[in-house]
Amino acid sequence: MTAMSSGCSRYVQLSADEFRTRLPEALAIYVKAMQYPEGTAEQRAPMWLTHALREGWRCMAALDADDVLLGLAYGYKGRAGQWWHEQVRHGLTRRSGPEEAERWMSDYFELTEIHVRPENQGKQIGEDLLRRLLDGVGNANVLLSTPEGTSRAWKLYRRTGFVDVLRDYQFTGDPRPFAILGRPLPLDPN
């Protein structure tokens, strides 16, 4: 996975302490990439810090030659009792039945966040982060949620074999429709 043409000079797995140190930089990328309003970073910071304490948490970062963060991906082992798990299980059970919910959600890694600076998107960084983050994850499946609509993220997920698990789902407190996508692990070699 060569990334020299992308401006990325290296990929590193961040420890929880390194993640905390880079949190303002990571949240700035998140807000810009997702086109969220000012103030979103302050609301998300405590949640991201809590995520770093979850079982199986891991984080990959893409850095340029000056050690500037170009992109970040993290996730952890999904389990009952977590907000996202309960939301998705409820929606999937209602639409497809408890067997389908169990099939996807009994043993999965939640790809919680993956973001690349907009000026560095389309240069393989997102796919490299995704592949490196999921390399060696021992769960049966990986699941993620993404806003409905055409985007580079959608192209990445389709290219790497993600399929529809639940479409046009509305999370509590967010008016936008989301898609829940998933695939078995491990990823196919690229």
pLDDT, tens digit, for every residue of 23-37?
A: 999 999 999 999 898
Spell out the residues 6+ positions from residue 156 whose beta carbon is closer than 8 angstroms to its own. 126, 127, 130
**For residues 149-153, average pLDDT:** 89
Coil/strand/helix, residue 54 = coil
Domain borders along the chain are 4-184
**For residues 168-174, average pLDDT:** 91
**For residues 93-117, average pLDDT:** 97
pLDDT at 6: 66
- Looking at the domain 4-184, which fold is it? Aminopeptidase (3.40.630)
Q: Does the active-site annotation cover 157?
A: yes
Is the model's pTM score more than 0.85? yes
User: How far apart are alpha carbons 175 and 190 in whole angstroms?
Assistant: 36
Residue 1 has pLDDT above 70, yes or no: no
Active-site pick, 74, 76, 108, 157: 157
**For residues 165-177, average pLDDT:** 93
